[in-house]
């Protein structure tokens, strides 16, 4: 199953020129999304997943949506469940869910257009997507260590420091930073105007004084060396004066995180998680975090309330009765004179010490 952006994603949606076939109807559906002002990123994602389903169906002799039944879609769902990637790993349930949602949306649209009499996907039970916590979040000290990696004595290092500071201070998405223009920066008010963020929504967000100072220094000292004529106003430029491609920016940030040797991995989104978590731990209201990150639903932001363990740790230390006031009790004390229990507790402590190395 080719990933988005790979060569397989450029295959046609389906075979033949049948006006009632999958290819023609799926193209009409995607065009309808454009008319309704869906973002190109959303459309590209749905096109990718529809292409995979359509080719799966055509391999089984199904070339028209009218030939698809609910059992057919359930077979495809089982196929996704048993599918294995090149590294031998299965698709996560979140990925399986993402593969099925565009298929279900296609059939819903076909029914609304009276191109199908009944919707075979209407009662399809989608897999439950896991609510995963961010794998890594930086502490303030770790973030500072990453930020200190660029060599700011040259133009590219100064640019990279400004990029890292912007990610850390604002928590903006990668594509939002790539799209920044000079007129989006308001140093006097200390704000950045994010144009057409996720869901084609604009928002105004604050950025700290230190981050603005690094951006200002980059604009004054480094950007004039990188900019081409005519200048389209893109804030962050590559060494050849062009806007960054998403993958190149990802690799740039990842390299600095790896170079810091903090035992954690990540890239642009790592700073988004870090920004939100540290602000929450320092007392920011979660609704302000929601506005800062541009989340449509508060539930999306609440994941950071689970990541911000420091406040929970402080509450636990203040309120839990099993506090350590004197020397740590040994296994025999904990066992209360029970020799068998003492031996078992001692073994548990030894095993835990071995696991910790």
Give the residue numbers marked as catalytic. Answer: 173, 198, 269, 272, 295, 304
Write the CB contacts of 227 (distance below 8 Å, at least 6 apart in sequence): 237, 241
Cα gap 242→263, rounded to integer Å: 33
Nearest to 308 by CA among 269, 271, 263, 274: 274
Nearest to 83 by CA among 100, 66, 67: 100
The residues facing 234 across adjacent strands are 181
- Phi, psi dihedrals of residue 181, rounded to the nearest 5°: -115, 160
The residues facing 185 across adjacent strands are 192
């Amino acid at each position: 199953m080719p990933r988005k952006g790979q060569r397989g994603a450029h295959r046609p949606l389906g075979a033949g020129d049948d006006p009632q076939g999958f290819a023609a109807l799926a193209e009409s559906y995607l065009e309808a999304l454009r008319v309704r002002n869906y973002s190109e990123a959303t459309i590209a994602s749905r096109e990718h997943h529809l292409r995979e389903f359509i080719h799966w169906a055509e391999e089984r002799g199904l070339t028209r949506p009218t030939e698809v039944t609910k059992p057919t879609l359930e077979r495809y769902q089982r196929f996704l469940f048993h599918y294995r990637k090149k590294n031998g790993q299965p698709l996560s349930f979140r990925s399986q869910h993402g593969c099925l949602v565009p298929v279900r949306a296609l059939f819903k649209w076909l029914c609304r257009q009276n191109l199908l009499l009944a919707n075979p996907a209407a009662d399809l039970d989608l897999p439950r997507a896991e609510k995963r916590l961010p794998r890594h979040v930086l502490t303030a000290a770790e973030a500072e260590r990453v930020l200190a990696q660029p060599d700011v004595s040259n133009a590219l290092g100064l640019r990279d420091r400004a990029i890292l500071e912007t990610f850390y201070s604002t928590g903006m998405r990668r594509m939002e930073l790539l799209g920044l223009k000079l007129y989006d920066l308001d140093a006097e008010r200390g704000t950045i105007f994010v144009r057409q963020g996720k869901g084609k929504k604009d928002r105004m967000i604050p950025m700290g004084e230190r981050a603005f100072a690094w951006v200002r220094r980059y604009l004054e000292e480094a950007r004039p060396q990188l900019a081409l004529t005519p200048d389209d106003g893109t804030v962050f430029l590559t060494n050849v004066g062009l806007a960054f491609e998403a993958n190149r920016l990802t690799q740039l940030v990842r390299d600095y995180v790896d170079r810091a040797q903090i035992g954690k991995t990540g890239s642009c989104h790592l700073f988004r998680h870090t920004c939100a978590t540290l602000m929450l731990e320092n007392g920011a209201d979660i609704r302000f975090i929601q506005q800062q990150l541009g989340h449509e639903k508060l539930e999306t932001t609440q994941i950071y309330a689970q990541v911000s363990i420091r406040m929970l740790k402080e509450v636990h230390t203040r309120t839990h009765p099993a506090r350590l006031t004197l020397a740590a009790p040994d296994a025999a004390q904990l066992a209360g004179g029970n020799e068998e229990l003492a031996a078992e507790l001692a073994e548990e402590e030894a095993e835990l010490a071995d696991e910790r190395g």
